[in-house]
Amino acid sequence: MVTAIGEMRANQRAKGHASILAIGTATPESCFHQADFPDYYFRVTKSEHMTDLKQKFTRICDRSTVKKRYMIFTEEFLRENPMFCSHNVPSLNARQDTLMDYIPKLAAKAASKAIMEWGQPKSMITHVIVCTVIASEMPGVDVKLIKLLGLNPSVKRIMLYHQGCFAGGTVLRIAKDLLAASRHVLQEYGNMSSACVLFILDEMRRRSKEDRMLTTGEGLEWGVLFGFGPGLTVETVVLRSCPIV
């Protein structure tokens, strides 16, 4: 039985190695410095009278090691949509609608950068795998992304919703079957859950070039990526760096 299951899983996986040919990242335009965030949060929620909670929240922000965060909810947007700042007004549907409108646009921005770096025509793209840890709808983000990028409607699509923090590793594994950087990313962008994987890989590649190392893996040839959660779930991906010419 164990042998049969092993053979079945082996048949579902692609042979050989997969390569990351390009990386594109994108963030919302609104940047918030963590040191200023407590004042901003308690101001927009009209909670400045809760001084004890504000002091506690300030301590949490100071000790988080995060320097900056990027958000789509600007102060102007929140003034126009006060239900987002109220603890008693139902706003889940409005939040989901806002996110589902914005997520495909942000994904298209990052994908366009990767396609430009790749340097090949879009017609060569055969599969699109999309992952988001927030919001869900049908037709999904994958359909909207294909339209925004102008890809062929026949492109094969895989959509992953609500996979949690480990989903970045899951996406890389699925792509394979089909076909100090960490700290810096946390400080500059905050905890982006599964999206951190791509930002960290891009940061490692950038630093390796700046420091004139031999490979994109900070001079090393091999690396292992672990994605933890939910529960005892662990996704493991073995990565091989590329020589820097």
Among residues 31, 131, 165, 196, which one is catalytic?
Answer: 165
Mean pLDDT of the chain: 78
Quickly count: other Cβ atoms within 10 Å of residue 201's Cβ. Answer: 23
DSSP, res 243:
B
For residue range 202-244, list pLDDT tens digits in order. 777 788 888 888 887 777 777 777 666 555 566 667 777 788 8
pLDDT at 108: 93
pTM here?
0.63
Q: Is the pLDDT of residue 150 over 90?
A: yes
Q: Is the pLDDT of residue 165 over 80?
A: no
The answer to whether 199 and 189 are in contact (CB under 8 A) is yes
196 counts as catalytic: no
- What is the residue-wise DSSP string for 91-127? -HHHHHHHHHHHHHHHHHHHHHHHHHHHTS-GGG--E
Quickly count: other Cβ atoms within 10 Å of residue 50's Cβ. Answer: 13
Burial class for 11, CB neighbours closer than 10 Å (0-12, 13-18, 19+): exposed
Q: Is the pLDDT of residue 178 over 60?
A: no
Name every residue whose Cβ is closer than 8 Å to that of residue 105 and which is 6 or more positions away in sequence.
148
- The helix, strand and coil proportions of the chain, stated in percent and rounded to the nearest 5, come to 50, 15, 35
Q: Would you state the structure tokens that stand for residue 131, as one six-digit string? A: 């992952």
pLDDT at 179: 45
Q: Report which secondary-structure segment, H or E, holds 134.
A: none
Give the helix ranges, DSSP H, for the chain: 2-11, 37-44, 51-62, 75-80, 92-118, 141-149, 167-178, 181-189, 196-210
For residue range 30-57, list pLDDT tens digits in order. 888 989 999 999 998 889 899 999 999 9
Is residue 172 classed as helix, strand or coil in its secondary structure?
helix
- Nearest 5 degrees, angle CA 210-CA 195-CA 119? 55
Name every residue whose Cβ is closer than 8 Å to that of residue 166 and which is 6 or more positions away in sequence.
194, 227, 228, 229, 230, 233, 234, 235
Name every residue whose Cβ is closer than 8 Å to that of residue 92 and which is 6 or more positions away in sequence.
none
Q: Would you state the structure tokens that stand for residue 50, as one six-digit string? A: 């809760």
For residue range 79-112, list pLDDT tens digits in order. 888 888 887 888 888 888 888 888 899 999 999 9
Task: Report d(CA 23, CA 241) in Å as an integer.
Answer: 13
Task: Report d(CA 51, CA 9) in Å as an integer.
Answer: 56
pLDDT at 124: 87
